[in-house]
Amino acid sequence: MIFERIRQKYPSLTKSQKRLADFIATSYQEAAFMTASRLARHLALNEATVIRFAQRLGYSGYPALIQDIRAVVQEELEAKARLPQMAAKEPFFGMLETEVENLQRVISHISPQTVLQALQAFEEAKQIYVLGQGLSWPLAELFALSLMHIGLSAQSSRSDPASLAVLLNKIEEKTLLVAFSVAAPAVEVANALRYAKQKGADTIAFAWSSTSPCAQVAEIVFICQASESFAAPSVASVAVLLDAFIQQLAMRDETETRARLEDIGRMQEFLRQG
């Protein structure tokens, strides 16, 4: 398979070949319909480099590489069509199908106006604080880190009373407080949202129910209620929404975002040096 060949050969590829490998690994559905010349133009390379890249991976030429990529795309389409049949035979796939249905239900309950309000709050905030209790805490950390990666001033905070008190002392206008409550009532976080609103901050909540304390307090609310068939709390729909916001915010200036991420990558390489 194309991805296994890339994985094995990647360390020995040239800089230009690695650019090709990176593009195919992340955008193979787009690459599947590109000729060698079009792919070369897209990455500002020459066509000969693309052909040599295919041969370096062990293909007879570019057509063989594209055929392998298209086979991957075809398999994905067939797997999607087979999912209901697989779900009937294996409970694991049934759970995946339920997660997909749950996400579709969550999406259907979100209004475009709410999304626009949230995006505006993120873009206008001078400082973003992200909170989460219990199972929601890792989501808060991940979201804050992702926001920092794309250039926004963000940080996560633990939600015990002492940590919240320190954070709330920093709240002012043009501050955005984002709270996650995806598994159980988070009274402390809800009270933090209430206090932040009184201080003139914007507030957003990703909550498990419209009746949760955080949903009752925040100005902008996204309800991420999981299916009742789940035995344990599900965070899949919340995670997808968070990623969608990160991708949308990153597109504000795609060139600047890519440059920032490249700088971060170079700094990581520097820090790993012996």
Tens of pLDDT, residue by residue over 37-48, are 999 999 999 999
Residue 274 lies in a domain: no
Sign for the pseudo-dihedral over CA of 72, 78, 84, 90: negative
Q: Does residue 140 sit in the same domain as residue 229?
A: yes
Beta bridge partners of 127: 175
Q: Does residue 65 sit in the same domain as residue 109?
A: no
Q: Does residue 8 sit in the same domain as residue 67?
A: yes
Considering only 7-11, 125-129, 160-164, 257-261, which range has the smallest mean pLDDT? Answer: 257-261
Tens of pLDDT, residue by residue over 142-171, are 999 999 999 999 999 888 889 889 989 889
Q: Does residue 23 sit in the same domain as residue 132?
A: no
Instruction: Round to whole Å and give the CA distance between 122 and 178.
Output: 10
Domains: count for the chain: 2
Q: Is the pLDDT of residue 120 over 60?
A: yes
What pLDDT shows up at residue 114?
Answer: 92
Site of tokens 């344990």: 232
Residue 270 lies in a domain: no
Q: Which residues contact 193 (CB under 8 A, 6 or more apart)?
A: 177, 179, 203, 205, 214, 217, 218
Residue 174 sits in which domain range? Answer: 104-260
